[in-house]
Amino acid sequence: MSKWGIPHRKHRCCTFGKNSWRRQKVSKERCGVIGIYAFDENWNVARFIYYGLVALQNRGQETCGMAVFDGKNMKVIKGRGLAENFFTSKNLEEARGWAGIGHVSPLNPRRDENIQPVYIGDDVKVALGYNGRILNHKELMEGKFESEEDAIAVASLLAKELRRSDPLEAMESVMEKMRGAYSLVAFTDKGEMVVARDPKGVKPLVIGSFGFDHGAVASESAAIDVIGADLKADIKPGEIYAINQYSIERKNAFKDKERYCAFEYVYLCRPDSVINGRSVYDVRIRIGEYLAEEFPVDADVVIGVPETAIPFAMAYSNATGIPIHMGFVRSGRSMRTAIRPTQFERLVGVQLKLNPIRQAIRGKRVVLIDDSVVRGTTTRNIVNIMRNRIGAKEVHVRIGSSRLISPCPFGVEVPEKDELIAAHLTEDEVSKVVGADTFAWLSLEGMVKATGFPRDKLCMGCFTGEYPYLEEGA
C-alpha cells in the first residue's frame, strides 16, 4: 500500500549507472543570483544588490549573502533567513563598494562558510554564487580537499585558472571541465566580474544596464527592473562575460542545443520576468487557455491558488466564461510551501499562507486552479478547507503543469520519486486522495505549446525523466 492509501504499482525508475547523481551527497539548490558593476567608484552598489535579492526571494528563502568590492577589499556578508530580515542598514553600510554579487538559496548548508557567495583562493581570491548543480563537482576538486558544495569546487577551480589566465579564458577553461546546468556570477579581489551560463542554457540569466553607469546581471529580469536598470538581453547558452573598470568582454565559448527549463515558466519565475525572450506571464496565460481547452467542467466559479496560479485561473475563466473570484487571501508573508525544508513546515505553511474567503466558495461548484502538485499535501489541505470547513458544493482541481514524476538533477528542489504523487497515482486516484470531485493535469503537449518553444528546446526532465547532459553523457 502506498503512502497515499492506494495499492502499489510497478513504475519504471530512471537511473544513470553506479555514479548516479541520486547517490551523490551534493546540495540541491534552486537559487537566485545577481551581480552589479558600477563604472564609477563613487557609487555604492550594496543596497542595489539587496533590493535585487529581495526581488529574487521567490527563488530561495533560507540563506542570502553578498560580496562587495571597494577597489581594495572584498566584504562578504551572508547568513540565514530572508534578505529583508538578514540585511540591515548597519551591515549594508559596512558593505560599501562599487561592484559586487549576491545570492539567495532555498536550503541551509550545515556550515556558515558554505552559504553563498563562497569566498575562496590563495594568490587570487574569488567570490562566487551560482544557480544550478554541477554533476562532477568532486572531480573538479582534484582530490585537494573534501567538500559537498558545488560552489566551492567551481570557485576553487576558477581561482586556480585565474593565476595563469585572464578572466575570459579562465572561465572558459573551467566550463570545459564542468558538467551540469548552471548560471553563475563571480568576482575577484582584482576587481573583475565573471558571468557564465551553461552551454544548454538550462538555467536563466539576463543582463541589463543603467545607461553607461552600471552593468547588472540576474537570474530573472524582474530583479533588473526592481533596481531601476534596463533589460538588454538574455545571456546566451555557453556565453561568458568578463567585466572590469575599463571594458566588457564577452565570448560565445560553447555552442550547444538549447534546453531551457520548462519548470521556470510554470512555477519558479516571477510572472513579471522575461527569460529566454519569453514573458513568463504570457506563457502562464496560454497555460490557462490550454487547460480550459483540455479539461472544461460545469462550475460556478474559478479560483486560483495565490500567487503563481492566478494567471492560469484568469485565462481559464476567460476561455470558459466561468467567473473568476478571489478565493484566498495570503495571511502573512508569501511562502513557497513546496520548497519548505520539512514536512511539518510545509503543513504549517499551507495553513499560514492562505485564508479562505467564505462568500466566494460556500455552496458553489468551484474550479480550483494550481500550478503544480508535488506530494499532494497542499492540494489536499486546500480542498479540505473548501469542502469541509467552508462548504463548497463541488471542487474540481486543474493543474497548470504536467505530471511531476521525477526529481531534478540540476538544482530544482523536487523531492525523490517515492514522494511524488504523480509518479504513482492516476488522476482518478489523486482525486480521491485530495478529496476533489475531479482532478486533471495539463498535458505535456499543452505545456510545451504554451512556452512557444519546440519540445527539443526544453528541459522537461521532472515531467518525463529524460535529462540533457545525463542522456548524452556529456
Strand partners, 242: 194, 249
Other beta carbons less than 10 A from residue 68's beta carbon: 26
The CA-CA-CA angle for residues 53, 332, 109, to 5°, reads 45
Taking Cα atoms as reference points, which of 441, 437, 435 lies closest to residue 422? 441
Q: Residue 130: beta bridge partners?
A: 184
Q: What are phi and psi of 184, to 5 degrees?
A: -145, 155
Beta-carbon count within 10 A of 332 CB = 9
Output the nine-digit C-alpha cell for 274: 522575461
How far is 351 from 331, CA to CA, in rounded Å?
9
Cβ atoms of 240 and 250 closer than 8 Å: yes
How many Å apart are CA 32 and CA 46, to the nearest integer? 16
Collapsing DSSP states into helix, strand and coil, what is residue 402?
coil
Reading the block at residue 64, the C-alpha cell is: 542570502
> Listing from the earlier edge strand, what are the strands of the sheet with 206-210?
74-80, 63-69, 99-105, 32-38, 214-218, 206-210, 230-234
Q: Give the three-class secondary structure for 260.
A: strand
The answer to whether 459 is a known catalytic residue is no
Catalytic residue (choose from 31, 269, 408, 462)? 31
Which residues share a beta bridge with 210?
A: 214
Q: Active-site residue numbers?
A: 31
